[in-house]
Amino acid sequence: MNKTLSFALAAVLLLPATSPVLARPADEPRPLGVESSIAFPNDATIKTWEADGEDGIWIQTRHRDWYYGKFATICRDLDFAHGIGIDNRGTSQLDRFAAILVGRERCQLVSFVTSAPPPTKAERKAAAEAAKAMKAAEAN
């Protein structure tokens, strides 16, 4: 009995070490821009989110991994929303086939990829100023 229990316990403990999902070393960076999904999206798995204007949404999981979802069309009220809903049509995962619910609006995703964190306000301001300077240079 003890040998069987010991063998079963050893097999269970070794299983995660052989899993390809968990095999990535901690110091190896996560590939970005890869289609992905979040299993069982709810308040226990999603830590925070941030709007990308009306075009998309960054979502951070409790494991501090960031994802970016791009919308099929504009999502008008996302910038001003205090909360969002997820319509995954019963699949138990947030992926490119899901939709983000904002108020009464349903914002369909067309892609859901691994991402770096969203840019800071200073980075956004610098990018806007660079775009403005490029536009002014092209006009001259």
Domains of the chain by residue range: 27-139
**In which band, very low, low, confident or very high, does the pLDDT at 1 lie, cut at 50, 70 and 90?**
very low
How far apart (Å, rounded) are the C-alpha atoms in residues 104 and 22? 38
Give the pLDDT score at 24: 56
Cβ neighbors of 36 (< 8 A, separation 6 or more) are 67, 95, 112, 113, 114
Residue whose pair of structure tokens reads 């956004």 in the numeric block: 124
Give the closest residue to 100 by CA, choosing from 32, 50, 61, 28: 50
pTM assigned to the model: 0.74
How far apart (Å, rounded) are the C-alpha atoms in residues 99 and 56? 11
Residue 140 has a CB neighbour count (10 Å cut-off) of 4
pLDDT in tens, 57-100: 999 999 999 999 999 999 999 999 999 999 998 889 999 999 99
